[in-house]
Amino acid sequence: MAANNKPVMGRMGAPVAKPKNIWGTVKRLMRYMKKSSLQIALTVAIAIGGTVMQVFSPKLLGSATTVIFDGLGSHTGIDFALLRTILLSVAALYAGAFVSSFLQQRIMTVVSQKTTYTLRNELKAKMNRVPVSYFDKRQNGDLMSVAVNDVDNVVTNLQQSLTALISSAVIVVGVVWMMLSISPLLTLLAAIMLPGSLLVMKLITPKTKKYSKEYYTSLGRLNSQIEETYQGFTVVKSFNGEEEALKKFDEVNTGMYETGWKARFIGGISMPGMLLVQNIIYVLIAAVGCVNVVSGAITIGNMQAFLQYSLQFSQPLMQFSQIWSSILSMIASAERVFEMLDAEEMSETKTEYAKHEDEIAKVVFEHVKFSYTDTPLMTDFSMEVEDGQMVAIVGHTGAGKTTLINLLERFYEIQDGSLRIDGEDIRNVERQTLRRRIGMVLQDTWLFSGTIYDNIKYGNESATDEQIYAAAKAAYADDFIQKLPDGYNTVLNEDAGNISQGQRQLITIARAFVSDPEILILDEATSNVDSRTELVIQQAMKRLLKGRTSFVVAHRLSTIYDADRILVMDKGDIVETGTHRELLAQNGTYADIYNSQFAGNAA
């Protein structure tokens, strides 16, 4: 059985990690198999039955040899009737062993697939419960590697290793019992294989453990690098970065090569080492056994059977090193899966802030404190937004514009103060309930592989056909959709590259129309399109904003001249507030930003 334990170098050349808690991980993995206890018990029973058949076969074959040998030396000749009965019995045992092996594999395939089915479902559900900060700190490729490669490694090795372990354990017990019934002395000689094999494993196993876990971690790093290069392919080409991209890839690939051949070599010598021990013991058994046959202590048939048993006895020992390598690889992957499952989840803690029944404002930030790290970003942020107001948020990069939106959506939790909608602190509202009241149209459009109809309906799964079509018309998307060959049933590819950027943005606006939110968040949705498409999108957004409380993160000030209120942020706080005309008259930060854009446009 080939072990799947290919290693690679750790991040930035760091030492390669090994499984942290082998037996704890095994016990936890076994808990996932509780629902399959009956199938596992049946597999054990079948394995025992099949192994017993394998164990009795050499004894019967030895009897056949004895019948032939005794028949050749007697006047009556060979008893062919008895020989035929023995051979038919052996054939039946071999057939039974084959059926047993087939059933074991069949049942264990189902058990392992059920286990990983459960793991994948839990991983998917877990991803919906972890905070946004969890994804900020991890590479997409690594997360995908855990969900796909590590889980697949668990199922592959679980299926192979568990069946092999059961069969090997039964074979060892059965073979030892049969060997003792033939010759205790030869059995003692055969037992020398055990410490010899253990010595080989002791020398090799630590190295194998060393290289197991980090392989899939590094595979995730490699996936991330490939994904980043693929997504930024145009940028790489534009800036002639092909050579640098290849250089980075070559560094990772070289590390994988260097450590990979070492691990394969170390793992590969376990089988030849144990084979050497087996052959030495085999020769010793044969020599001593021949003396016993000549002296008449053992029949030639039993001697033949014992030699076969010695091979059967050594086979599980030889396999065990390979099985153990596979188990270590499985445990390493399982640990990575469990680390993700054990990640800290978003809390639904209630606060001591009572609902402000008489509060008029729609959204209130009251003395809010927040920081991503130890350095505070918002120290005492307060703001009120009236129902139906359009509030624009401007400021230089890092001013806190996106942070304000993240807090409003509860992507991050405030650390002090209160953030209320309709008088109720948002921490006292379930996230799903809160986000049903808020719609978002971002600068970077996100559409999934599927029909345009399904992408629009994503905003409200209970929307009717009429609502979908009405939303598309309100977003000025219906016209171009109807001109497509398959209309609303047009299937978008992975990055929605079969429609233009402006068309993608109109679909996201239609999705927001369908969700019919109370509060709307817009992150400059027209910055990546041409002037004509920008006008269409702005008209669609005006329709969408009508009658709703809205927050518009503005990069181009020309899009927010009509805002009811403009907030100028800097270092996590509001430094100026007012209408477009009022802020220009103040001749402050807003005026500086406006003049810089105007001067840039004039130039």
Strand order across the 390-394 sheet: 438-441, 519-523, 549-553, 390-394, 565-570, 573-578
Q: What is the mean pLDDT of each run of 10 residues along the chain (603 residues)?
A: 37 41 80 83 85 82 81 74 87 90 85 85 86 78 81 80 77 84 85 75 66 60 72 69 79 70 67 77 84 82 83 74 75 86 77 77 89 81 89 84 86 88 88 86 80 91 91 89 90 78 86 89 68 75 84 80 87 86 89 74 44
Token digits of residue 241: 């970065």
Q: Domain-by-domain residue ranges, the chain? A: 15-341
Q: What is the pLDDT of residue 466?
A: 92
CA dist 42 and 108 (Å) reads 10
Which CA distances in Å does 209 have to 27, 158, 324, 551?
18, 17, 9, 53
- Using a 10 angstrom Cβ sphere, with 0-12 exposed, 13-18 middle and 19 or more buried, the burial of residue 399 is buried
CA dist 152 and 242 (Å) reads 32
CA dist 521 and 439 (Å) reads 6
Check if the beta carbon of residue 258 is closer than 8 Å to that of residue 251: no
Check if the beta carbon of residue 396 is closer than 8 Å to that of residue 572: no
| Half-sphere exposure (Cβ direction) of 333: Cα atoms closer than 13 Å | 30
The DSSP secondary structure of 174-225, one letter per residue, reads HHHHHHHHH-HHHHHHHHTHHHHHHHHHHHHHHHHHHTTHHHHHHHHHHHHH
Query: How many CB atoms lie under 10 A from the CB of residue 181?
Result: 13
Token digits of residue 174: 């059965």
First to last CA, the chain: 71
- Using a 10 angstrom Cβ sphere, with 0-12 exposed, 13-18 middle and 19 or more buried, the burial of residue 14 is exposed
CA dist 426 and 365 (Å) reads 11
Q: What is the pLDDT of residue 95?
A: 93
CA dist 331 and 22 (Å) reads 7
- Contacts by 497-504 with C-beta closer than 8 Å and gap 24+? 500/533, 501/445, 501/528, 501/529, 501/533, 502/529, 502/530, 502/533, 502/534, 502/536, 502/537, 503/477, 504/445, 504/447
Q: Give the global pTM.
A: 0.63
User: Angle 193-210/184-191 helices, nearest 10 degrees?
Assistant: 20
SS3 380: strand
State the Rg of the chain over Cα: 36
Output the 3-class SS for 323-376.
HHHHHHHHHHHHHHHHHHHCCCCCCCCCCCCCCCCCCCCCEEEEEEEECCCCCC
Q: Are strands 549-553 and 390-394 parallel, antiparallel or unpaired?
A: parallel
Q: Is the dihedral of CA 533, 539, 540, 541 positive or negative?
A: positive
Phi, psi of 534, rounded to the nearest 5 degrees? -60, -40
Q: Which residues, at least 6 apart from 79, have a Cβ–Cβ distance to it below 8 Å?
A: 67, 71
Domain spanning 15-341: CATH superfamily: ABC transporter type 1, transmembrane domain (1.20.1560.10)
Q: What is the pLDDT of residue 530?
A: 62
Q: What is the pLDDT of residue 2?
A: 38
Q: Which residues, at least 6 apart from 325, have a Cβ–Cβ distance to it below 8 Å?
A: 3, 4, 5, 205, 208, 212, 267, 270
Token digits of residue 384: 């009120």
